[in-house]
Structure 1
Protein backbone atom coordinates (compact mmCIF):
# COMPACT_ATOMS: atom_id res chain seq x y z
CA UNK A 1 0.00 0.00 0.00
CA UNK A 2 1.26 3.48 -0.82
CA UNK A 3 2.25 6.32 1.48
CA UNK A 4 -1.06 7.95 0.57
CA UNK A 5 -2.93 5.12 2.23
CA UNK A 6 -0.56 5.07 5.20
CA UNK A 7 -1.43 8.68 6.01
CA UNK A 8 -5.14 7.98 5.50
CA UNK A 9 -5.00 5.05 7.93
CA UNK A 10 -3.09 7.19 10.45
CA UNK A 11 -5.85 9.82 10.20
CA UNK A 12 -8.54 7.20 10.83
CA UNK A 13 -6.68 5.77 13.85
CA UNK A 14 -6.07 9.25 15.29
CA UNK A 15 -9.71 10.22 14.76
CA UNK A 16 -10.97 7.11 16.52
CA UNK A 17 -8.56 7.85 19.40
CA UNK A 18 -9.79 11.48 19.45
CA UNK A 19 -6.10 12.43 19.40
CA UNK A 20 -6.20 15.94 18.02
CA UNK A 21 -2.42 16.34 17.88
CA UNK A 22 -2.11 13.15 15.83
CA UNK A 23 -4.99 14.22 13.59
CA UNK A 24 -3.33 17.56 12.85
CA UNK A 25 -0.02 15.82 12.20
CA UNK A 26 -1.71 14.16 9.20
CA UNK A 27 -2.55 17.55 7.65
CA UNK A 28 -0.23 20.12 6.10
CA UNK A 29 -0.21 23.47 7.94
CA UNK A 30 -2.28 25.09 5.16
CA UNK A 31 -4.55 22.10 4.48
CA UNK A 32 -8.15 22.56 3.43
CA UNK A 33 -10.95 20.41 4.88
CA UNK A 34 -14.23 20.57 2.96
CA UNK A 35 -17.37 19.21 4.65
CA UNK A 36 -21.13 19.69 4.37
CA UNK A 37 -20.74 22.01 7.38
CA UNK A 38 -18.30 24.29 5.58
CA UNK A 39 -14.69 24.71 4.52
CA UNK A 40 -11.92 24.81 7.12
CA UNK A 41 -8.48 26.14 6.24
CA UNK A 42 -5.36 25.50 8.31
CA UNK A 43 -4.77 23.61 11.54
CA UNK A 44 -6.73 25.97 13.78
CA UNK A 45 -9.97 25.68 11.82
CA UNK A 46 -9.53 21.96 11.17
CA UNK A 47 -8.96 21.34 14.89
CA UNK A 48 -12.08 23.34 15.71
CA UNK A 49 -14.24 21.13 13.48
CA UNK A 50 -12.93 17.87 14.95
CA UNK A 51 -13.40 19.30 18.47
CA UNK A 52 -17.05 20.06 17.65
CA UNK A 53 -17.74 16.45 16.67
CA UNK A 54 -15.81 14.99 19.63
CA UNK A 55 -17.63 17.34 22.02
CA UNK A 56 -21.05 16.44 20.62
CA UNK A 57 -20.27 12.74 20.20
CA UNK A 58 -17.72 11.61 22.82
CA UNK A 59 -17.79 8.10 21.33
CA UNK A 60 -17.47 9.29 17.70
CA UNK A 61 -16.04 6.40 15.67
CA UNK A 62 -15.22 5.73 12.01
CA UNK A 63 -15.34 2.29 10.45
CA UNK A 64 -13.92 2.06 6.96
CA UNK A 65 -15.73 -0.48 4.84
CA UNK A 66 -14.47 0.37 1.35
CA UNK A 67 -11.22 1.78 0.02
CA UNK A 68 -10.69 2.52 -3.66
CA UNK A 69 -7.62 0.30 -3.80
CA UNK A 70 -6.82 1.11 -7.41
CA UNK A 71 -6.64 4.81 -6.59
CA UNK A 72 -3.82 6.38 -4.59
CA UNK A 73 -4.13 10.14 -4.80
CA UNK A 74 -6.76 10.95 -3.86
CA UNK A 75 -7.20 8.12 -1.40
CA UNK A 76 -10.96 7.48 -1.34
CA UNK A 77 -12.71 5.75 1.55
CA UNK A 78 -16.32 4.99 2.46
CA UNK A 79 -17.15 4.94 6.16
CA UNK A 80 -19.81 4.20 8.65
CA UNK A 81 -19.81 6.84 11.39
CA UNK A 82 -21.28 6.05 14.80
CA UNK A 83 -21.71 8.03 17.97
CA UNK A 84 -24.00 8.98 20.81
CA UNK A 85 -25.08 12.61 21.01
CA UNK A 86 -24.03 13.39 24.58
CA UNK A 87 -22.77 16.96 24.26
CA UNK A 88 -23.63 20.21 22.52
CA UNK A 89 -23.53 20.19 18.72
CA UNK A 90 -23.27 23.33 16.64
CA UNK A 91 -25.99 23.39 13.97
CA UNK A 92 -25.54 24.91 10.50
CA UNK A 93 -27.72 27.92 11.44
CA UNK A 94 -25.47 28.78 14.41
CA UNK A 95 -27.71 27.37 17.13
CA UNK A 96 -26.37 24.75 19.51
CA UNK A 97 -28.26 21.49 19.96
CA UNK A 98 -27.95 20.19 23.50
CA UNK A 99 -27.39 16.49 24.11
CA UNK A 100 -30.26 14.27 22.99
CA UNK A 101 -28.74 10.95 24.07
CA UNK A 102 -29.58 9.59 20.63
CA UNK A 103 -27.29 7.10 18.91
CA UNK A 104 -26.47 7.95 15.30
CA UNK A 105 -25.19 5.79 12.48
CA UNK A 106 -24.59 7.41 9.12
CA UNK A 107 -22.62 6.80 5.98
CA UNK A 108 -19.85 9.02 4.69
CA UNK A 109 -17.18 9.07 2.05
CA UNK A 110 -14.05 11.12 1.72
CA UNK A 111 -11.15 11.80 -0.58
CA UNK A 112 -7.74 12.85 0.68
CA UNK A 113 -5.11 14.47 -1.52
CA UNK A 114 -1.59 13.97 -0.16
CA UNK A 115 1.63 15.84 -0.97
CA UNK A 116 4.96 15.40 0.81
CA UNK A 117 3.47 12.97 3.34
CA UNK A 118 0.67 15.29 4.51
CA UNK A 119 -2.98 15.73 3.55
CA UNK A 120 -3.35 18.99 1.63
CA UNK A 121 -7.05 18.68 0.82
CA UNK A 122 -9.58 16.43 2.51
CA UNK A 123 -13.14 16.35 1.23
CA UNK A 124 -15.71 14.73 3.48
CA UNK A 125 -19.21 13.96 2.21
CA UNK A 126 -22.16 12.76 4.24
CA UNK A 127 -25.91 13.12 4.08
CA UNK A 128 -26.81 15.78 6.61
CA UNK A 129 -30.46 14.72 6.54
CA UNK A 130 -29.42 11.20 7.54
CA UNK A 131 -27.54 12.63 10.54
CA UNK A 132 -30.02 15.33 11.60
CA UNK A 133 -33.11 13.13 11.25
CA UNK A 134 -31.53 10.71 13.73
CA UNK A 135 -31.16 13.67 16.09
CA UNK A 136 -34.88 14.48 15.83
CA UNK A 137 -35.01 16.89 12.91
CA UNK A 138 -37.14 16.44 9.81
CA UNK A 139 -37.79 18.09 6.51
CA UNK A 140 -39.79 21.29 6.52
CA UNK A 141 -41.96 22.29 3.60
CA UNK A 142 -40.98 25.59 2.07
CA UNK A 143 -43.40 28.48 2.14
CA UNK A 144 -45.53 28.05 -1.01
CA UNK A 145 -44.82 31.66 -1.94
CA UNK A 146 -41.09 30.83 -2.10
CA UNK A 147 -41.44 27.80 -4.39
CA UNK A 148 -40.31 28.17 -7.96
CA UNK A 149 -43.16 28.18 -10.45
Structure 2
Protein backbone atom coordinates (compact mmCIF):
# COMPACT_ATOMS: atom_id res chain seq x y z
CA UNK A 1 0.00 0.00 0.00
CA UNK A 2 1.44 3.33 -1.02
CA UNK A 3 0.97 6.55 0.88
CA UNK A 4 -1.39 9.27 -0.26
CA UNK A 5 1.65 11.36 -1.18
CA UNK A 6 3.11 8.54 -3.28
CA UNK A 7 -0.10 8.48 -5.28
CA UNK A 8 -0.08 12.27 -5.74
CA UNK A 9 3.56 12.14 -6.90
CA UNK A 10 2.66 9.33 -9.34
CA UNK A 11 -0.10 11.53 -10.74
CA UNK A 12 2.29 14.45 -11.26
CA UNK A 13 4.83 12.19 -12.99
CA UNK A 14 2.14 10.71 -15.24
CA UNK A 15 0.87 14.17 -16.21
CA UNK A 16 4.39 15.36 -17.00
CA UNK A 17 4.92 12.23 -19.13
CA UNK A 18 1.53 12.85 -20.84
CA UNK A 19 0.73 9.22 -20.05
CA UNK A 20 -3.06 9.09 -19.98
CA UNK A 21 -3.20 5.46 -18.84
CA UNK A 22 -0.98 6.19 -15.83
CA UNK A 23 -2.99 9.34 -15.06
CA UNK A 24 -6.26 7.40 -15.01
CA UNK A 25 -4.69 4.66 -12.89
CA UNK A 26 -4.39 7.25 -10.11
CA UNK A 27 -8.16 7.89 -10.08
CA UNK A 28 -10.99 5.66 -8.91
CA UNK A 29 -13.38 4.75 -11.76
CA UNK A 30 -16.06 7.06 -10.32
CA UNK A 31 -13.74 9.89 -9.27
CA UNK A 32 -14.90 13.50 -9.34
CA UNK A 33 -12.54 16.18 -10.66
CA UNK A 34 -13.55 19.80 -9.99
CA UNK A 35 -11.92 22.52 -12.12
CA UNK A 36 -12.61 26.25 -12.53
CA UNK A 37 -14.40 25.48 -15.79
CA UNK A 38 -16.54 22.57 -14.63
CA UNK A 39 -16.98 19.24 -12.87
CA UNK A 40 -15.80 15.98 -14.43
CA UNK A 41 -17.12 12.61 -13.27
CA UNK A 42 -15.56 9.23 -13.97
CA UNK A 43 -12.66 8.05 -16.09
CA UNK A 44 -14.21 8.97 -19.43
CA UNK A 45 -14.68 12.65 -18.59
CA UNK A 46 -11.36 12.90 -16.71
CA UNK A 47 -9.55 11.31 -19.69
CA UNK A 48 -11.20 13.80 -22.04
CA UNK A 49 -9.97 16.69 -19.86
CA UNK A 50 -6.36 15.49 -19.85
CA UNK A 51 -6.47 14.72 -23.58
CA UNK A 52 -7.50 18.34 -24.20
CA UNK A 53 -4.63 19.64 -22.05
CA UNK A 54 -2.05 17.38 -23.72
CA UNK A 55 -3.35 18.32 -27.18
CA UNK A 56 -3.39 22.04 -26.45
CA UNK A 57 -0.02 22.15 -24.65
CA UNK A 58 2.34 19.56 -26.10
CA UNK A 59 5.00 20.38 -23.50
CA UNK A 60 2.67 20.84 -20.51
CA UNK A 61 4.65 20.45 -17.29
CA UNK A 62 3.72 20.68 -13.62
CA UNK A 63 6.34 21.78 -11.10
CA UNK A 64 5.25 21.31 -7.49
CA UNK A 65 6.72 23.92 -5.17
CA UNK A 66 4.73 23.46 -1.98
CA UNK A 67 3.12 20.44 -0.37
CA UNK A 68 1.11 20.75 2.82
CA UNK A 69 3.33 18.41 4.80
CA UNK A 70 1.29 18.07 7.98
CA UNK A 71 -1.82 16.90 6.13
CA UNK A 72 -2.19 13.40 4.71
CA UNK A 73 -5.70 13.43 3.31
CA UNK A 74 -6.43 15.52 1.41
CA UNK A 75 -3.00 15.89 -0.15
CA UNK A 76 -2.60 19.56 -1.03
CA UNK A 77 -0.05 20.78 -3.56
CA UNK A 78 0.76 24.12 -5.12
CA UNK A 79 2.13 23.88 -8.66
CA UNK A 80 3.43 26.03 -11.42
CA UNK A 81 2.01 24.87 -14.75
CA UNK A 82 4.06 25.71 -17.82
CA UNK A 83 3.64 24.94 -21.48
CA UNK A 84 3.45 26.20 -25.03
CA UNK A 85 0.06 26.52 -26.68
CA UNK A 86 0.69 24.34 -29.74
CA UNK A 87 -2.75 22.89 -30.38
CA UNK A 88 -6.43 23.74 -30.13
CA UNK A 89 -7.80 24.62 -26.69
CA UNK A 90 -11.49 24.40 -25.88
CA UNK A 91 -12.73 27.57 -24.16
CA UNK A 92 -15.51 27.59 -21.54
CA UNK A 93 -17.99 29.11 -24.03
CA UNK A 94 -17.50 26.17 -26.43
CA UNK A 95 -15.26 27.95 -28.93
CA UNK A 96 -11.88 26.49 -29.79
CA UNK A 97 -8.75 28.64 -29.60
CA UNK A 98 -6.29 27.60 -32.29
CA UNK A 99 -2.61 27.33 -31.37
CA UNK A 100 -1.05 30.68 -30.52
CA UNK A 101 2.53 29.51 -29.91
CA UNK A 102 2.46 31.46 -26.63
CA UNK A 103 4.13 30.20 -23.46
CA UNK A 104 2.11 30.03 -20.26
CA UNK A 105 3.14 30.01 -16.63
CA UNK A 106 0.14 29.62 -14.34
CA UNK A 107 0.00 29.15 -10.59
CA UNK A 108 -2.31 26.41 -9.41
CA UNK A 109 -3.22 24.52 -6.29
CA UNK A 110 -5.07 21.28 -5.85
CA UNK A 111 -6.36 19.00 -3.17
CA UNK A 112 -6.88 15.30 -3.71
CA UNK A 113 -8.93 13.09 -1.41
CA UNK A 114 -7.77 9.48 -1.48
CA UNK A 115 -9.62 6.27 -0.57
CA UNK A 116 -8.67 2.67 -1.36
CA UNK A 117 -5.37 3.79 -2.93
CA UNK A 118 -7.09 5.93 -5.59
CA UNK A 119 -8.05 9.58 -5.89
CA UNK A 120 -11.77 9.89 -5.20
CA UNK A 121 -12.07 13.67 -5.45
CA UNK A 122 -9.61 16.09 -7.05
CA UNK A 123 -10.14 19.85 -6.78
CA UNK A 124 -7.98 22.07 -8.98
CA UNK A 125 -7.85 25.84 -8.53
CA UNK A 126 -6.21 28.35 -10.86
CA UNK A 127 -6.90 31.84 -12.13
CA UNK A 128 -8.51 31.48 -15.57
CA UNK A 129 -7.83 35.15 -16.34
CA UNK A 130 -4.13 34.53 -15.72
CA UNK A 131 -4.19 31.67 -18.23
CA UNK A 132 -6.32 33.33 -20.89
CA UNK A 133 -4.48 36.66 -20.79
CA UNK A 134 -1.20 34.80 -21.38
CA UNK A 135 -2.85 33.25 -24.44
CA UNK A 136 -3.67 36.73 -25.78
CA UNK A 137 -7.34 36.83 -24.78
CA UNK A 138 -8.88 39.75 -22.92
CA UNK A 139 -12.05 40.61 -21.08
CA UNK A 140 -14.85 42.33 -22.94
CA UNK A 141 -17.87 44.18 -21.69
CA UNK A 142 -21.04 42.38 -20.66
CA UNK A 143 -23.05 40.67 -23.36
CA UNK A 144 -26.04 42.52 -24.75
CA UNK A 145 -29.37 41.63 -23.23
Same fold (TM over 0.5): yes
TM score, norm. by length of structure 1: 0.94
* Counterpart Cα distance in 1 of 2:53 and 2:14: 14
SS of 2:100's partner is coil
The answer to whether the aligner puts 1:74 opposite 2:74 as a matched pair is yes
* Counterpart Cα distance in 2 of 1:25 and 1:135: 31
Superposed CA RMSD: 1.3
* Counterpart Cα distance in 2 of 1:3 and 1:115: 11
Q: Please name the residue that 1:46 is paired with.
A: 46
How far residue 29 of structure 1 moved from its aligned partner, in angstroms, is 0.4
How far residue 139 of structure 1 moved from its aligned partner, in angstroms, is 1.9
- Deviations 1:27-61 (CA, angstroms, capped at 9, x unpaired): 00000000012110000000000000000000000
Q: Please name the residue that 1:104 is paired with.
A: 104
SS of 1:71's partner is coil
Instruction: Output aligned runs, 1:1-149, within 5 Å.
Output: 3-142=3-142
TM score, norm. by length of structure 2: 0.96
* Counterpart Cα distance in 2 of 1:89 and 1:138: 16
How far residue 141 of structure 1 moved from its aligned partner, in angstroms, is 2.8
* Counterpart Cα distance in 2 of 1:37 and 1:49: 11
SS of 2:99's partner is coil
The structure with more radius of gyration = 1
* Counterpart Cα distance in 2 of 1:132 and 1:39: 19
Segments of 5+ residues of structure 1 without an aligned counterpart are none
SS of 1:79's partner is strand
Segments of 5+ residues of structure 2 without an aligned counterpart are none
How far residue 138 of structure 1 moved from its aligned partner, in angstroms, is 1.3
How far residue 83 of structure 1 moved from its aligned partner, in angstroms, is 0.4
